[in-house]
């Protein structure tokens, strides 16, 4: 037990150390971009960021030992359908590109699954942040953290990718995740159809019925365009977060939310009234997203 506690505390210390560099970087970016707006709107950002830090702490203490066990177990099961040597025959740079591309493909479908009736009550915690910043990436329910690790890692190991390549995929997509969650009001112009920008992912977190099932990729916007989930109608959504669908703003309410039968009834009823045939009129615009032009500016929120 003492070793388990020591291991969890060590993981917590390392996690907070890892936040230092991106934290300083995105604070400087926020001061550069938002300037005076940030100084007048810091209270709600601080409140949401505090909740994020609390959830980081809870996640590390509860899930770090389980993830470590799953990691060793999955690697020891030799699940590979393709020999790792086949992948290692590729140049390292090309293997990194391939594993990140495949990892994002797996993450895309896992993310869509998280917006289903079964997993939404745990994933909704991630969407409860009403003042999204780079730290929103870490806002996860422990159950969601475990399911994400299990699905993504097991799929990549099943495909036979070397362990080092899986680790590189995790690092690249994780740190890029910080960037697209940050309040940086940019798109990529002609590259927007190819790569996920902060503006595109901001719409994924929008409090807008049309955006609830959109923009699931982390790195490659291609997947959303190919599978009909690309949705960027404006420069930035006017409202973010769906706290009413996540148990409320309190982290304690969000932690208990997936364990309440009423949570699943609530999302089932919502989907019943907002499913096929009950969408708002502009939902049909999803069918023509591939021909969408550059979004128009529509305001912005303030964060980091």
- The DSSP bridge partners found for residue 234 are 296
Q: What is the pLDDT of residues 220-258, one digit of tens each?
A: 999 999 999 999 986 778 889 886 666 666 778 888 889
302: nearest Cα among 202, 162, 196: 202
CA atoms within a 13 Å half-sphere pointing along the CA-CB vector of 236: 18
116-139 mean pLDDT? 92
Percentage of the chain beyond pLDDT 90 is 50
Q: Indicate if the pLDDT at residue 290 is higher than 80.
A: no
Q: Indicate if the pLDDT at residue 286 is higher than 90.
A: no
| The Cα angle at residue 107 between residues 166 and 4, in degrees rounded to 5 | 60
Q: Taking the alpha carbons of 273, 130, 142, 261 in that order, is the dihedral positive or negative?
A: negative
298 φ, ψ (degrees, to nearest 5): -140, 35
Q: Where are the domains of the chain?
A: 2-291
Q: What is the pLDDT of residues 34-52, one digit of tens each?
A: 777 776 777 888 888 999 9
Interatomic CA distance for residues 282 and 208, integer angstroms? 11
140: nearest Cα among 125, 151, 119: 125
Q: Taking the alpha carbons of 247, 252, 256, 262 in that order, is the dihedral positive or negative?
A: negative
Percentage of the chain beyond pLDDT 70 is 84
Q: What is the DSSP string of 124-165?
A: GGGG--SS--GGGGG---HHHHHHHHHHHHHHHHHTT--HHH
Interatomic CA distance for residues 240 and 235, integer angstroms? 13
Higher pLDDT, 227 or 189: 227
pLDDT, position 6: 76
**Helix, strand, coil % (nearest 5) of the chain?**
65, 0, 30
Confidence class for position 157, pLDDT limits 50, 70, 90: very high
Rg of the chain over CA atoms, in angstroms?
A: 19
CA 175 to chain centre: 11
pTM of the model: 0.85
Give residue for tokens 């112009």.
Answer: 189
**Distances in whole angstroms, Cα of residue 208 to Cα of each of 24, 217, 232, 279, 280:** 31, 18, 12, 12, 10
49: nearest Cα among 19, 80, 93: 19
93-122 mean pLDDT? 96
Q: Taking the alpha carbons of 135, 140, 146, 149 in that order, is the dihedral positive or negative?
A: negative
- The DSSP bridge partners found for residue 220 are 195
């Amino acid at each position: 037990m003492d070793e388990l506690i020591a291991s969890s505390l060590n993981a917590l210390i390392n996690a907070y150390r890892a936040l230092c560099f991106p934290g300083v970087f995105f604070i400087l970016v926020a001061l550069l971009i938002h300037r005076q707006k940030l100084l007048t709107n810091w209270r709600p950002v601080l409140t949401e960021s505090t909740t994020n830090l609390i959830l980081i702490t809870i996640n590390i203490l509860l899930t770090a030992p389980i993830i470590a066990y799953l990691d060793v177990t999955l690697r020891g099961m030799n699940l590979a359908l393709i020999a790792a040597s086949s992948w290692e025959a590729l140049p390292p740079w090309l293997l990194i590109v391939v594993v990140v591309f495949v990892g994002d493909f797996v993450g895309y479908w896992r993310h869509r699954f998280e917006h289903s009736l079964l997993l939404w009550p745990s994933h909704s915690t991630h969407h409860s942040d009403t003042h999204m910043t780079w730290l929103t990436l870490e806002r996860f329910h422990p159950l969601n953290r475990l399911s994400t690790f299990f699905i993504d890692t097991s799929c990549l190991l099943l495909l036979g990718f070397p362990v080092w390549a899986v680790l590189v995929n995790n690092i690249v997509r994780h740190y890029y995740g910080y960037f697209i969650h940050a309040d940086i009001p940019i798109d990529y112009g002609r590259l927007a159809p190819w790569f996920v920008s902060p503006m595109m992912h901001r719409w994924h977190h929008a409090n807008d019925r049309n955006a609830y099932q959109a923009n699931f990729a982390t790195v490659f916007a291609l997947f959303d365009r190919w599978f009909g989930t690309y949705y960027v109608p404006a420069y930035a959504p006017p409202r973010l977060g769906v706290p009413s669908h996540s148990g409320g703003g309190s982290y304690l309410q969000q932690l208990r939310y997936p364990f309440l039968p009423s949570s699943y009834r609530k999302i089932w009823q919502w989907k019943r009234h907002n499913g096929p045939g009950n969408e708002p009129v502009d939902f049909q615009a999803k069918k023509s997203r591939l021909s969408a032009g550059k979004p128009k500016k529509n305001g912005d929120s303030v964060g980091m």
